[in-house]
Structures are given as C-alpha cells and as structure tokens.
Amino acid sequence: MADRHPSQTLLTAVQIQTRVAEMAREIRHDYPDGLHIIAVLKGAFIFLSDLVRNMDGNVSLDFMAVSSYAKGTTSSGEVRLLKDLDTTLDGKDVLIVEDIVDTGLTLTYLQDILRARGPRVLRTACLLSKPSRRKVDVKVEYIGFSIEDRFVVGYGLDYAEQFRNLPYIGVIES
C-alpha cells in the first residue's frame, strides 16, 4: 500500500497557485478588520502558507491537530484532539483552514467545538471538496476545487504520511 505512487496529476501547481491567490483575495475582502486563522494539522499546512502569503493586513494564526478515528476507509466522525489552540476565540473573526472535506464529519465536529468558544464570526475554507461523499451537510464558505471521489495526495495531503511535499495534487488509484 505505502509504495503506491500518484498515477495522474489532477491539479497542477500553477492551477493551485492561481486559485489559492483568488481565494485569499475573496477571504480578505470578507474580513475587513483582519482575521484569526485556525489551521488543521497536518494536511492544511501548505495551503495555509500559500493562502496567508497572498494576504495583507492583520492576520493571526493558531493551529489544531486532530485525528479521525477511522472506520474502514472513512472517518467515523469521532475526532481526537491531539493539539488544542493556544489562545481563546472569544469575539474574534475566525477562519478554519482545512485541506479537504470528504464526509464532512471531521469538519462538523471542529465547527461545533470552535463555535462553542464564542467567536464573532466563524467560517471555513477548504482547498478541496468531494461533494459526492458527504454524509452530513456541513457549511464551507470557501472551496478551492470540487473534485470527484478519488483519493488524492500532494500539496499537504498524504497517503500513509507520504506525498505531502508534492507541489501538485495527484491521484492514488484504489
């Protein structure tokens, strides 16, 4: 399994860079007073770093690390918090930055616990979305690309912890 390599490029580095810059402009426009970004480790780290480098003005960052308890190949929706935030969210204009929304269970869990901490605004940006896989109707205000039901790697996303370093998004055939 772990020796599988991406067989096909789904999104090139140039396509991703262009779209991420566009998303950054849109998000910046919607947060005129600055924003507090919460990035979900590990998958979002490259998306986050390109996103914030396309933003000017006030941007602060915090990180969360979660792990989904898998049931077979899909997440169960039960999420284990591996690293919590360093600061409070009370009254802040918050943006969650995630790599991909698949069933939506992980993101629903995260939105629920973060909303309970009293941010003034809470929105979500995901680089990728697989709408055909959704089990719960989770709200994602900013989506980079909607893709088919394929397992993808690169640009932060992994397969057995490999391929996060690829500058493009590739497909792993099942």
- Name the residues annotated as catalytic: 102
| Residue 170 binds ligand IMP, judged by CB under 6 A | no
Site for Mg ion in 22-51 (CB under 5 A): 43
* Cα distance between residue 40 and residue 38, in whole Å: 7
Q: How far is the CB of 29 from ligand IMP (least distance, A)?
A: 26
* Cα distance between residue 170 and residue 29, in whole Å: 31
Tokens representing residue 104 in the block: 């939506």
- Residue nearest to Mg ion as judged by C-beta position: 43
Q: From residue 74 to residue 103, what is the string marking binding to Mg ion with x (rule CB under 5 A)?
A: -------------------------x----
Closest to ligand IMP by CB, 86 vs 174, is: 174
* Cα distance between residue 13 and residue 18, in whole Å: 9
* Size of interface with ligand IMP, in residues (CB under 6 A): 18
Tokens representing residue 17 in the block: 């860079």
What number of residues does the chain have? 174
Q: From residue 43 to residue 62, what is the string marking binding to ligand IMP with x (rule CB under 6 A)?
A: x-------------------
Q: From residue 120 to residue 159, what is the string marking binding to ligand IMP with x (rule CB under 6 A)?
A: -------------------------------xxx---x--
* Cα distance between residue 143 and residue 141, in whole Å: 7
Contact (Cβ atoms closer than 8 angstroms) between residue 110 and residue 40:
yes
Q: Is the peptide bond before 139 cis (omega within 30 degrees of 0)?
A: no
| Residue 166 binds ligand IMP, judged by CB under 6 A | no
* Cα distance between residue 100 and residue 158, in whole Å: 11
Q: By three-state DSSP, how is residue 132 classified? A: helix
Closest to ligand IMP by CB, 43 vs 144, is: 43
Q: Of residues 39, 106, 127, 166, which one binds ligand IMP by CB under 6 A? A: 106
Would you tell me which residues interact with Mg ion (CB under 5 A)? Answer: 43, 99
